[in-house]
């Protein structure tokens, strides 16, 4: 395989891009709602799911928003996935009529755990990688498995050297 250019090693998502992609997901989810009353609640997977969940909650006028916290990565290294905080099960039940939102699915390990807790929920992510794609009911953009997605909360604007003159 030919070596990739520096800007091809990751998929860098700006706030603007994330806003547009989360809105596109909301538009899709609106047409996938179970009935005319729409989705009854959102469960955001913290922390990455909170930003898209807020945008989707706004677009679809959903006021009941809870969270589930699953930790599976230490920086870019995957470890055993564990639930640190569960949603209010009196509110969410088996997940019927509920949207579960995350920023992305990679291996699908996080969603495997989450789906077990709320088997009837509709799972949506903004981005998806091939290994985990089967775990989501709706997503917007697929990237290759070897692409690391950098989200705007992990980035900063900074100067870069022009290509000409670099090693
Ligand atoms: O499909 P998987 O291989 O399980 O990976 C996807 C999950 O990994 C990241 O979260 P992370 O656990 O790093 O926590 P964070 O959202 O707090 O950054 C990402 O936000 C997804 O939730
Ligand atoms: O590609 C990724 N980007 C950010 N967080 C992640 N967690 C799993 N995969 C990724
Ligand atoms: Mg996450």
pLDDT in tens, 64-83: 999 999 877 666 666 677 89
CATH of domain 19-146: 3.40.50.2020
CA distance 60 to 14: 23
Q: At what angle do helices 50-60 and 15-31 cross, to 10 degrees?
A: 50
* Catalytic-role residue among 106, 137, 146, 154: 106
DSSP state of 8: G
In 21-121, the DSSP E strands lie at: 41-46, 65-74, 77-85, 98-105
Tell me which residues of the chain have a pLDDT lower than 70. 1-2, 4-8, 73-79, 167
Annotation marks residue 137 as catalytic: no
The answer, yes or no, to whether ipTM is higher than 0.90 is yes
Among all chains, which residue has been given the structure tokens 């690391």? Answer: 148
Q: Can you give the pLDDT at residue 78?
A: 67
Helix (H) or strand (E) holding 127, with range, is strand 122-128
106 marked as binding residue: yes
What are the extents of the domains in the chain?
Answer: 19-146
pTM above 0.90, yes or no: yes
């Amino acid at each position: 395989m030919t070596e990739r250019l520096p800007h091809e090693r990751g998929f860098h998502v700006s706030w603007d891009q994330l806003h547009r992609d989360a809105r596109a997901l909301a538009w899709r989810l609106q047409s996938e709602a179970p009935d005319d009353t729409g989705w009854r609640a959102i469960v955001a997977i913290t922390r990455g799911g909170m930003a898209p969940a807020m945008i989707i909650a706004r677009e679809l006028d959903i006021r009941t928003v809870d969270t589930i916290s699953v930790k599976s990565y230490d920086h870019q290294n995957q470890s055993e996935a564990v639930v640190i905080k569960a949603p209010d099960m009196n509110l969410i039940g088996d997940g019927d009529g509920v949207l579960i939102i995350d920023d992305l699915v990679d291996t699908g390990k996080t969603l495997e755990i989450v789906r077990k807790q709320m088997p009837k929920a509709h799972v949506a992510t903004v981005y998806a990688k091939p290994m985990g794609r089967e775990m989501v009911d709706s997503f917007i953009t697929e990237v290759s498995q070897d692409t690391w997605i950098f989200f705007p909360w992990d980035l900063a604007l900074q100067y870069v050297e022009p290509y000409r003159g670099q090693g």
